[in-house]
Structure 1
Amino acid sequence: MEYYAALGYRAPSATRLSTGASVQAPHGDASADALELPPLGLEDLGALRERFLRAPDEVLTRVRDGVGGPVSEGALVHALQDLEQALREPEAALQAMRQPPFQARASVSLPPDFAFPLMTREIPIDPVRTRFEPVADLRGWLLFSGRAWLHGGWSRAAFRRHDDARHASRFRYTLREPGPGRPVEVALFGGFGTGEYPARYVARQLIMRGERLEYAVHLGGVYYAGRQGEFDAHVAEPLEPLLPVTTLMTLNAGAEMRSGGTPFYRYLDERRGASRAKQVQEGSYFCLASERFQLIGVDTAYFEPGRHQEPGLLGWLESVLEEGRRRGATNILLSHDAPYRYGAPRPTGLLEDLRALVVDRALVDLWFWGASPHGALFDRGAALPFLGGSLGHAGLPVPVTAPGLSSPAPVRFLESRSRFPEWTGVRPELGNNGYGSLLLQGDGTLGLQLLDWRGNVRCTAVLAREGDGPLTYQHLQEAEPEA
């Protein structure tokens, strides 16, 4: 277990295991194995290797989808071999991790004069760390997600539905009505659940907004596999100071479902506990509604990864979208998975699932998602009658996004900077992390900013309607190049 911990394993606390959970565990079993995905052991590693030998394309596809990046066949073979040796001789593996060859990248260091206003010793910045990177941390991904790739996930918690008699809210909650001089601020961020320093600095920015930040939505992504220890360390702890003043909502994602969703639901229950009046979320989908605006979060992970086909959920979504349209509200859809992706020529299956609502009937004005790990804003296209935003870059390490790639919708802004300023010469291959801030105004307009993990404003936009027309970008300005 020490080897697992050295590579990033977060075990559930002894207190949690002894007290059980408010969430119904599979088969009524409150053991750690029932509540979340265990790490890969030697037996499962052998089974994964055998499956790779029989069906290499299938396993490679699962691994690439899981880590969110390109993994070569050779890299996977090498990682499997390394892991087998490490699991057979964990003490030797631990010792090797402490040796100079493993620390060779320590020469990558920040210049002494690197600083920014929010920088603090409480969140140390270590550019050498490669945790969660697709290839450099392939061992970690295999150890802590491998069982899900081998078995197709873990035993699932019971799904919570809006029409259950226990949920009088029907998963619909009040969004404060913005007034003159009193806009409503909503932070939107995805891929946050890593515990790494970019995510911690995003959390620091949200916390420093204090009571001005009335709502925050995590668009999903708790890594490696949505375990309880990962929720505790990567989400609950850094966002705890928000809870007394900010209504926090969280979406379900494929990573969370690797542990069956039990830690996800437990976190919802814990947020509502301790007399926290602002914490209202009961299920994995929701609608926050005022007279002028609706924020509608959907679950694109529980029933099928990246899809939304369950009839009961489609009916609920249709009803809230129609209600918003009837009163002239702006419908803002929030999901983990994306309707389309920058760099991909065609829309996703999720868009096909929702085509009747968002394309044929144009019931959605603005759609933000968290599965694409880069910041981007999109205009409507010929067959895409809504504005779009990719905000999945709060915590995961991703390669720099190259401009000029194909896109199903016109690109209005693309985060193409590196994580560190160019002048530092540090990790130029890593893309910039950040999040979005949405301002809902009393006159029905929306202000939107994309900020990076250091607090730099990367893009500012104003969205509004002209008469009864669609929501459009009235103004959009990208920040000047960083000095």
Structure 2
Amino acid sequence: MDSKRMELFAALGYRPPAASRRGRAVGPSGAVVLEGVSGEVVDAEAPELPPLEPEELEALRTRFLSEPDEVLHLARESLGAPVSELDFARVLQEVEQALRAPEEALQALRHPPFRAKASVQLPPDFRFPLMTHEIPIDPTRTKFEPVADLRGWLLFMGKAWLRGASVSAAPFRRHDDARHASRFRYALREPAPGRPVEVALFSDFGTGEYPARYVARQLLMRGERLEYAVHLGGVYYAGRQGEFDAHVAEPLESLLPVTTVLTLNASPEMRSGGSPYFRYLDERRGAARARQVQEGSYFCLASERFQLIGLDTAYFEPGRHREPALLGWLESVLTEGRRRGALNLVMSHGAPYRYGAPRTTELLEDLKALVVERALADLWLWGSTPHGALFDRGAGLPFLGVSLGHGGLPVRRAEPGAVAPAPVRFLESRPRFPEWTGVRPELGNNGYSSLLLHDDGTVGLEFLDWMGNVRCAATLAREGSGPLVIQRCNESSKE
């Protein structure tokens, strides 16, 4: 790749492949390989989705001209937001010009033609307790925004919109492989009186942007109190090695000695075939094997009263879970948990339904026999949908739902009152910055969730935003032998 073009890509946010932190070795074929701590051999130079080159840009333009609806559908699905035909055509032209004259494009980036408007400048008195100069806050940044950063999305993920451009998938890791004596089932500490188990859950965190960095800062400040942290998936732009290194491994590294970190697979990770994802699992285990137990892309953490069950809703098909072996494994852990009276807490990147959409998803259809007809799930927590929300049980939905796809991506501010398949008990509808600042009011608030698993079987659920504000506190409990219900749900009025 031309050096100026690579410099341009770096300036626009491209993260090139990085050497493994666990060393490199040459395999029999001459390829550089990395032996995982579980015995798998991971190719350290495994292919990942490359940026668009000029000839591929031309191929994408040709496809857009002949099949505009199909290309726009792919772009909208990938970005989770509307993209107009006019915007797409304009950015195609901008990218073509930048690739043709990268030095000119670099100069334009170094010397922007206008200053930031006052509406995107923070007031001098903007402060919050966790604020630090180590994580600068720049409201003018538009990286990962669907339209404002369409150039970045097109350059660094646009190849996925070409036919035949998929990256070879890494070997899938199965619970019944002889190398995995755990069968992907691990012990969850039993809650004790006055000593609940704390679990942080966050999704679509892998951006490296300041909201995600402040979420990571909050997790680190919890110290040993935070026993488990689960990323529900989403490393952007395309789950590359460099993106894992910079956006996930580096900000979460200090957690590893004290907190068990688990990570689900997601559609963005599979754009690069999943090799960086599986490599990250192995590197994490190598760094702190006593705590970092995860071997594959699905798992069950079990105690007598609780089960945390992570699903892979990306490897075989985006947003689906119908592989027979995985369904069989899931049925066995759900049934076992229900038999002993434990709460089954299901976690995935894919969503069973979405706020703002009247119908449930194909993923729910895949799991209908288990979670609807047999009602084996008590609480389902998912990423991918760009808002924080708590849903009650609804018609044909005998489980509580939590949406957490607002961990790091810039999201549109949610408007209350939209349709949803289940009743909404809390919706994160505030802007990213307090309304009194007048800054970026169109952006939604980023954040994550914290679970407290108590010895009496109750669950404390909090939604926190990227600044550390508790946005909603709820108590979930069974009433007698009945289903899990929301006993209390209080939304904070403080800004």
TM bin, normalised by shorter chain, reads over 0.9
Summarize the Cα distance change of 1:418–1:275 in structure 2 as closer, same or farther, 3 Å threshold. closer
- Which amino acid in the other structure matches residue 371 of structure 1? S
Cα distance in 1 for partners of 2:287, 2:96 equals 45
Q: In structure 1, what is the equivalent of residue 325 of structure 2? A: 312
Summarize the Cα distance change of 1:15–1:203 in structure 2 as closer, same or farther, 3 Å threshold. closer
Q: Is contact 2:297-2:312 (8 Å) kept?
A: yes
Q: In structure 1, what is the equivalent of residue 200 of structure 2? A: 187
> Within the alignment, does 1:5 sit opposite 2:10 as a pair?
yes
Cα distance in 2 for partners of 1:479, 1:15 equals 44
Kindly provide the CA deviation profile for residues 329-369 of structure 1, in whole angstroms up to 9, marking residues without a partner as x. Answer: 00000000100000001000000000000000000000000
- Which amino acid in the other structure matches residue 456 of structure 2? D
Q: In structure 2, what is the equivalent of residue 58 of structure 1? A: 70
Q: In structure 2, what is the equivalent of residue 44 of structure 1? A: 56
Structure 1 residue 107: deviation in Å? 6.7
Q: In structure 2, what is the equivalent of residue 35 of structure 1? A: 47
Q: Is contact 2:391-2:400 (8 Å) kept?
A: yes
- Which amino acid in the other structure matches residue 363 of structure 1? L
Cα distance in 2 for partners of 1:14, 1:263 equals 11
Structure 1 residue 392: deviation in Å? 1.1
Q: In structure 2, what is the equivalent of residue 418 of structure 1? A: 431
Q: Is contact 1:96-1:102 (8 Å) kept?
A: no
Kindly provide the CA deviation profile for residues 208-246 of structure 1, in whole angstroms up to 9, marking residues without a partner as x. Answer: 000000001000000000000000000000000100000
Q: Is contact 1:190-1:221 (8 Å) kept?
A: yes
Cα distance in 1 for partners of 2:288, 2:194 equals 30
Structure 1 residue 104: deviation in Å? 4.5
SS at match of 1:438: strand
- Which amino acid in the other structure matches residue 146 of structure 1? G
- Which amino acid in the other structure matches residue 241 of structure 1? S
Cα distance in 2 for partners of 1:96, 1:481 equals 42
For the aligned residues, what is the CA RMSD?
1.6
Cα distance in 1 for partners of 2:161, 2:286 equals 34
- Which amino acid in the other structure matches residue 367 of structure 1? W
Q: Is contact 1:226-1:263 (8 Å) kept?
A: yes
SS at match of 1:22: strand
Q: Is contact 1:447-1:460 (8 Å) kept?
A: yes
Structure 1 residue 109: deviation in Å? 1.1
TM-score by length of 1: 0.96
- Which amino acid in the other structure matches residue 282 of structure 1? E
Cα distance in 2 for partners of 1:398, 1:373 equals 6
Cα distance in 1 for partners of 2:175, 2:438 equals 51
Structure 1 residue 37: deviation in Å? 1.0
Cα distance in 2 for partners of 1:175, 1:29 equals 28
Give matches, 1:69-84, under 5 Å. 69-84=81-96
Cα distance in 1 for partners of 2:365, 2:56 equals 36
Cα distance in 1 for partners of 2:223, 2:44 equals 38
Of 346, 360, 363, the match for 2:373: 360
- Which amino acid in the other structure matches residue 86 of structure 1? A
SS at match of 2:287: coil
Summarize the Cα distance change of 1:145–1:44 in structure 2 as closer, same or farther, 3 Å threshold. same
Q: In structure 2, what is the equivalent of residue 215 of structure 1? A: 228
Give matches, 1:290-369, under 5 Å. 290-369=303-382
Q: In structure 1, what is the equivalent of residue 185 of structure 2? A: 172
- More displaced stretch, 67-76 vs 330-339: 67-76
- Which amino acid in the other structure matches residue 77 of structure 1? A
- Which amino acid in the other structure matches residue 269 of structure 2? E
Give matches, 1:372-411, under 5 Å. 372-411=385-424
Of 253, 260, 264, the match for 1:251: 264
Cα distance in 2 for partners of 1:15, 1:372 equals 32
Summarize the Cα distance change of 1:292–1:410 in structure 2 as closer, same or farther, 3 Å threshold. same
Of 163, 167, 181, the match for 2:176: 163
- Which amino acid in the other structure matches residue 234 of structure 2? G
Q: In structure 1, what is the equivalent of residue 28 of structure 2? A: none
Of 482, 485, 495, the match for 1:472: 485
Kindly provide the CA deviation profile for residues 79-137 of structure 1, in whole angstroms up to 9, marking residues without a partner as x. Answer: 11110110011001111122332655587211110000000000000000000000000
> Within the alignment, does 1:98 sit opposite 2:103 as a pair?
no
Cα distance in 1 for partners of 2:453, 2:124 equals 40
> Within the alignment, does 1:132 sit opposite 2:139 as a pair?
no
Summarize the Cα distance change of 1:13–1:106 in structure 2 as closer, same or farther, 3 Å threshold. farther
| Number of residue pairs matched by the alignment | 478
Alignment gaps of 5+ in structure 1: none
Summarize the Cα distance change of 1:240–1:57 in structure 2 as closer, same or farther, 3 Å threshold. same
Q: Is contact 1:178-1:441 (8 Å) kept?
A: yes
Cα distance in 2 for partners of 1:322, 1:40 equals 47
Q: Is contact 2:42-2:275 (8 Å) kept?
A: no
Q: Is contact 1:252-1:302 (8 Å) kept?
A: yes
Runs ≥4 residues deviating over 4 A: 14-19, 28-32, 102-107
Structure 1 residue 154: deviation in Å? 1.1
Cα distance in 1 for partners of 2:211, 2:48 equals 26
- Which amino acid in the other structure matches residue 476 of structure 1? C
Summarize the Cα distance change of 1:218–1:14 in structure 2 as closer, same or farther, 3 Å threshold. closer
> Within the alignment, does 1:445 sit opposite 2:463 as a pair?
no
- Which amino acid in the other structure matches residue 196 of structure 2? P
- More displaced stretch, 267-276 vs 422-431: 267-276
Alignment gaps of 5+ in structure 2: 1-5, 26-31
- Percentage of matched positions with identical amino acids: 75
- Which amino acid in the other structure matches residue 120 of structure 1? T
Q: In structure 1, what is the equivalent of residue 292 of structure 2? A: 279
Q: Is contact 2:33-2:44 (8 Å) kept?
A: no
Structure 1 residue 276: deviation in Å? 3.1
Cα distance in 2 for partners of 1:377, 1:365 equals 13
Cα distance in 2 for partners of 1:272, 1:102 equals 47
Cα distance in 2 for partners of 1:481, 1:274 equals 40
Cα distance in 2 for partners of 1:76, 1:238 equals 33
- Which amino acid in the other structure matches residue 7 of structure 2? E
